[in-house]
Amino acid sequence: MKQTFTFLLLASALLWTAARPSDSVSRPSGELQLANINVGDQAPELAFPNPNGDIIKLSDLRGNVVLIDFWASWCGPCRMENPNVVRIYNAYKDKKYTAGKGFEIYSVSLDQAKDRWIQAIEKDGLIWPSHVSDLKGWKAQGAAIYGVNSIPMTYLLDGEGKVIAKGLRGAQLEAALKSLLR
């Protein structure tokens, strides 16, 4: 009886794990060569158009703690994380940091449809000014430069543009920002 119960418990746990929704969307296999950016690396430059067609460079935000946020309007886990990102941005954008003068977000969309990208920015209340996309989906140059193979994906940079953390979301992101406060 005990062995049967243990087996059923283990089988239930495995089925639950396999059936639960994923917390990220993975890149389809393809030919794109991905980089591998790690903590301690200098963040490579990104320069892409915003919704108005103006080029916004990552380096324009230098001096601030910067969250590079790779996401897309069609990514359910990204859209579920957006309220956390908005809350954290509002709470931390005007704080003083040991690693930078303020907090900014550089949002890199892996969308292909410009209208859906813009609608998601508006609907989710993504109020920071630095939204960019080359509208190439998974073939986005920014995703290749940073080695992004699932979204949402984040890189936290210090004021000098060095990667100080990656893959932070929710409470982990907030804790990292708190640890950098003056």
Report yes or no: 106 and 46 within 8 Å, Cβ to Cβ: yes
Q: How far apart are CA 160 and CA 98, in angstroms?
A: 11
**pLDDT the model gives residue 77:** 96
Question: For the residues 18-41, what does the mean pLDDT come to?
Answer: 60
Mean pLDDT of the chain: 86
State the CB neighbour count (10 A cutoff) for residue 132.
22
What is the reported pLDDT for 150?
A: 93
Provide the residue ranges of all domains of the chain, joining segments of one domain with +. 33-179
Give the residue-averaged pLDDT of 7-33.
42
Burial (0-12, 13-18, 19+ Cβ within 10 Å), 57 = middle
Which tens digit of pLDDT belongs to each residue from 38-75? Answer: 899 999 999 999 999 999 999 999 999 999 999 999 99
For range 136-144, the mean pLDDT: 96
pLDDT-above-70 percentage for the chain? 81
Lowest mean pLDDT among 3-7, 114-118, 138-142: 3-7
pLDDT at 125: 98
Tokens 């509002």 found at: 90
- Whether the pLDDT of residue 32 is over 70: the answer is no
Q: What is the pLDDT of residue 24?
A: 54
**Exposed, middle or buried by CB within 10 Å (0-12, 13-18, 19+), for 147?**
middle
Of the candidates 71, 148, 54, which has an alpha carbon nearest to the alpha carbon of residue 105? 71
State both tokens at 142: 């920014």
Q: Which of 7-16, 34-43, 147-156 has the lowest mean pLDDT?
A: 7-16
Per the CB < 8 A criterion, the answer to whether 88 and 174 are in contact is yes
Which pLDDT tens digit goes with each residue over 75-114? 999 999 999 999 999 999 999 999 889 999 999 999 999 9
CATH superfamily of 33-179: Glutaredoxin (3.40.30.10)
pTM, 2 dp: 0.83
Cβ-Cβ contacts under 8 Å for 150 (sequence gap 6 or more)? 24, 25, 26, 27
